[in-house]
Chain A
Amino acid sequence: MPREPDSDALLVQRAAAGDQRAFELLVIKYQRRVERLIGRMVRDVDLVEDIAQETFIRAYRALHQFRGDAQFYTWLYRIAVNTAKKFLLELKRDPTVSDSALASKDDDDETFRPKNEPSTDETPESVLAAKEIGRAVSQALSELPDDLRQAISLREMDGLSYEDIAQLMACPIGTVRSRIFRARDAISAKVRPLLERQTGKRW
């Protein structure tokens, strides 16, 4: 599996030194992935978001403990799992939370399941949207000029560094950086309308 290109280590370093903006970029990058992870442990959608918030707050507090021996997401993953487990334990111990409070509104339905039962995060709509985005990306990639397509593919799919790509393509690093940016931007332009339809937000 190709290595995911990222700048997590640099952003963590900045965030640990007090740069909250750097941490927010990490939150934007991993919010959905953390929520999907928690969603596999906790059914309540509201609770998923609360646990995700708590996960990021705990991670922020503990940033100085991140030594970079593992990838940032691996570290964040452990925090998310532990936070979710703690929430579930507290929920079970809380005497003010009755079974009826934990149950969903349509608990008369024979398909009723307790709120805290693990569930899948995938819905037909999300699967369809992901396929649609995937097709748009492939289409945009195929329409790119060869040099841009090669540069972005070497970076995103093969995980090569700018230096390696510059060697392979026999061009300066600045050119590699520019080609990758232009490729990303051109593909994003095709994807953005689909994302706007998903979230109802215009970037």
Chain B
Amino acid sequence: MKQLNGLNITETRPQRSDQCLQNSELVSALMDGALDGDALARALDVLAEDDSADGTWDTYHLVGQAMRFEGESLQAHDPAFVSRLREKLAKETPELIVASPLPIRAEGQFGLKKSAANDPWWRRVAGLASVAVVGVLAWQGMGWMGASRPAETTLAQQSVASAQMDAPQALVTADGAASVMIRDPQLDALLAAHRQVGGANALQMPTGFLRNATFNEDKR
């Protein structure tokens, strides 16, 4: 009588080879979802060569059903049914999909829950986000178009008026691009200390046109 970790195995399976036992252990791991990737592929290949694998797979599942008392009748599968189906499936050409590196999400798979980037939920979020962005851009574009026309008019009127009074000023007003002042604390301190040189508005943000620059130039 042989003991294996306290379990008497000679009484229950006296004629089974090591290979058969190994295959049965593969079946057990397979039904628990403990094999994936290459290990799963290898196991399926090995079990395809083992005539007893189908019976082992079926019996192990029936044992699980019986333990869980699912209230169903416990009946082994019909090998003839599978044979007939196999012949029919051989004539089928299933629409193959590329095996994804991500496992298919299922409730029974150890609570594994991974959502792919092309998940419908993400698609909806991306769609809504793009619509929102387009809406904001359109709204801003309309605002700019509406606001820029009066500004251009004013600018033109001022330019014409300035040109009549002082030619050099008109040249400077051509530069109407808004700009952001880059502040240098040391420069600001220096200009504040020498206001008579830099002008009163040296520390202010520049306006759309540099009318003071030409004006101060004349004063020098």
Contact = CB atoms under 8 A, between A and B. Distances in A.
Interface in A163-203: 163, 177-182, 184-192, 195, 198-199, 201, 203
B89 A20 contact: yes
Interface in B1-38: 4-7, 9, 12-13, 21, 24-25, 28-36
B85 A9 contact: no
Interface stretch (A60-68, A82-90, A96-104, A107-115): A60-68
B103 A13 contact: yes
Contacts of A192: 59
A189 B35 CA distance: 24
Interface string B74-95: 1111110110111011101011
A20 B86 contact: yes
B48 to A, nearest CB: 5
Contacts of B59: 188, 191-192, 195, 203
A60 B84 CA distance: 14
Nearest to B21: A185
Contacts of A2: 68
Nearest to B29: A177
Interface stretch (B39-47, B172-180, B204-212): B39-47
Given A10-B33, A28-B57, A57 B63 contact: no
B104 A70 contact: no
A45 interface: no
* Interface bracket on A: 35 or more
A64 B99 CA distance: 10
Interface string A21-41: 111110111011100100000
Contact of A188 (B63, B74, B96, B98): B63
A148 interface: yes
B82 A156 contact: no
Contact of B105 (A69, A179, A186): A69
A145 B7 contact: yes
Given A10-B40, A61-B94, A4 B68 contact: yes
Contacts of A22: 44
A186 B72 contact: no
A85 to B, nearest CB: 21
B122 interface: no
B105 A29 contact: no
Interface string A103-138: 000000000000000000110001101100110010
A150 interface: no
Nearest to A32: B75
B57 A49 contact: no
B55 interface: yes
Interface in B95-136: 95-100, 103-111
Given A5-B64, A9-B103, A31-B77, A24 B86 contact: yes
A5 B31 contact: yes
A147 B7 CA distance: 10
Contact of A137 (B13, B48, B66, B98): B66
Contacts of A163: 110
B54 interface: yes
B215 interface: no
A19 B94 CA distance: 10
A19 B44 contact: yes
Interface of A: 2-10, 12-25, 27-29, 31-33, 36, 49, 52-53, 56-57, 60-61, 63-64, 66-72, 121-122, 126-127, 129-130, 133-134, 137, 141, 144-145, 147-148, 152-153, 155-157, 161-163, 177-182, 184-192, 195, 198-199, 201, 203
8 contacts: A5-B64, A24-B85, A71-B107, A181-B24, A188-B63, A189-B13, A192-B59, A203-B55
Given A19-B41, A25-B44, 18 more contacts: A20-B86, A21-B47, A22-B44, A24-B85, A27-B85, A28-B54, A28-B57, A29-B58, A32-B75, A53-B88, A63-B95, A64-B94, A133-B74, A156-B68, A163-B110, A181-B28, A184-B60, A201-B79
